[in-house]
Every structure is written in C-alpha cells, then in structure tokens.
Amino acid sequence: MKRLLFIAVFCTFFTAAGFSQTDLQPAAIVNLTKSEPITVKQFRTEVERMETTARRALTEPERRQVLDVMINERLAVQAAERDKITVADNEINQQIQQLRAGMAQAIGRQPTDAEYAQAVRNETGLEVAAFREQLRRQLIVQKYLTSKKQGLFESLKVPAEAEIQNAYSLTKSQFVRPETVRFSMVMIPYGSDKTKAKELADRLNGEIGLNPSRFDEVALRGQAPNSGYQAGDGGFLPRNPEAMQVVGADFINAAFNLKQGEVSKMIEGARGYQIIKITETYTQKALELDDIFQLGSRITVRDYIGNSMLQERQQAILAQATQELVTELRAGRTFQVFERNLTW
C-alpha cells in the first residue's frame, strides 16, 4: 500500500510540474562526440515557436525540417567543440550591442532593459537568457563553417565591370526614377484631443499663410521641446502608387502641385494636420550607371548592381558550404531519429 501511494504521489508531482513521459522521450539523439538528446518537449517547443511566427500550423514535412535544423546545429556545435572553436563573451556582447543600437535608432533613444527584453520576446519567442544562448550557438556554427570551408569562401570573386554593364543592359528598363520631391513638414498630431489639435493647426496655418520664410520660422520652433507639434525634413517622396498608399492622395496631389520653395495649405492626414514646403524637385529620369540609384543615398546604379550580384554569389557559396558541411557531419551514425515520437 505504501509503495502504491508513493508511485501515485510521484506521478502527480510530475503531472503538476507540466512534464510527461512523452515530453522526456527523445525525438532524436545526436552523437558526433557525445550523446545529446533532442527531447520531444524541445522539438515541440521549437515547432510551436515557428508556428507562432508563421501564424499557422506547420505541415509534417515542415516539422521534419525543423528537426533537421536542430540536429544540424547540434552536430556543428559538437564538431566545433571537438576542434576547440569557441566564441568569447565579448563577441556575443558586440552582437547584442548592435541589436540594441538598431533598436535605439528605430525608436530615437536607448531602449530600457525591459523594452529590449520585450522586443527579443516578440521577434524570437525567447527570453533574453535563452536568446543569448541561441546567439552563442549560432556564432559558433558560423565560425566553424567559415574555418572548415575557408577555401570556398576565398574563391568568391567581386563582379567585374563588364559583368555589371551586361547586367545593366538587361535590366536598364527597371532603373527609372519617378517624379520626386523633397519636402519639409510641420505636423500637428491629433493626439487624444482632435479639437485642440485643430485649433493649434489653424493658428500655425494662419501664421504661415503661404510664406516660405514664416514656414521656416514655425518649423524651427517645432523642433523645441513641448512645442505641441513636430517639424523637420520629410525626406524624398516619389510620385507612384506605393507612396500614395502611405501618405494618401491629398498629400500627393498637394506636394506635386507645388513648385520648389512653395508652401502648401493645411492638409488633413491620417495622423494629424500637415503643412509642407517643397525643398527639391526631380523630374522622371531613366538612370545611367553613374546616376544615384536612390535619392538621399550615395549608391550609384553601378554600385547597386555590383552589390546585388556580390550578395547573390555570397548566398550561393554559403548555401554550398552549408550543404557540404551538413553532408560531412551527417555521414555515418552521427545521429538517430525516433520517428514514433515525432507526432503529438
């Protein structure tokens, strides 16, 4: 009786803790240098994370691809450990700092630790500690791949001028800059009180009229804290359907009915009241190799084509190197998959 009671309590404990025998069973075992199981729980957690990102259930072949990726990563990490390839903490920290810097640029300030943690959770479904471990493993795999396939990566060739010119000749019809303007903008957000926003917009609109100098004065004041409105360079606006979907037909029509230096009447946009001043105008143009590919950048059509061709070659070599390495690591009895445990 005591033995039966102990077994019942033991089983109840593991059920309450969220475990089951199925969770602890292996979906696969990787054994290149040591026996490392991938449990059903680990496999299911990764599948569910992918399904959350995809917003749909994965098919059986897609589930198997997830398991293959998990196996390949563990094989590569074990091989890297065998060959004494490691990643230092400062290398991981540098990657994290770059991620946080990108986030800071996007939101206009340094993110708090809580904001960073939430962003990691939203993008990866992982907590910060788990994300850091995942990043460490990814960096180890990248370093191992680079070291083992160094010759293949060194064979990469930068596109020659003749290749770039040939690519341009085949695609020149795609390199057409639409009619474009650059503008400055005074923006009064609706906020929670649209009536109050309208009063401020009417006052600023009356102060500016159509006078470019007064627009500049109002725009300068708008950059001060607590001005109640926003102002600054609005960037380049092409005249095309994509831009119209973003800013609206009224904004497009107002912008392209103005000449350089002229100021618009007040526009009622999706997020607030707007007044704009056109600072630069560009006619539609078929771009040559030495023309700037996108206004506001220093990249010429030649550079754009060359960079695109180089990236394609890099991706092709990376795919080849990865496939070669996976084939080598999977040779022999380096892993075992338990087919009966792959469904739930």
- For the chain (344 residues), the mean pLDDT of every run of 10, in chain order, is 42 45 88 96 93 92 96 97 95 94 87 93 90 94 96 95 97 95 96 94 95 96 91 95 93 96 94 96 96 92 97 96 96 94 86
Question: How far apart are the C-alpha atoms of 270 and 185, rounded to whole Å?
Answer: 15
The pLDDT of residue 226 is 87
- pTM above threshold 0.75: no
HSE of 247 in the Cβ direction (CA atoms, 13 Å)? 24
The pLDDT of residue 15 is 43
Q: With respect to CATH, is domain 176-286 assigned 3.10.50.40?
A: yes
**Residue ranges covered by each domain of the chain:** 19-152+336-341, 176-286
The pLDDT of residue 105 is 85
Question: How far apart are the C-alpha atoms of 3 and 19, rounded to whole Å?
Answer: 22
Q: With respect to CATH, is domain 19-152+336-341 assigned 1.10.4030.10?
A: yes
Report the b/e string of 134-162 with b at 16+ CB within 10 A: ebbbbbbbebbbeebbeebeeeeeebeee
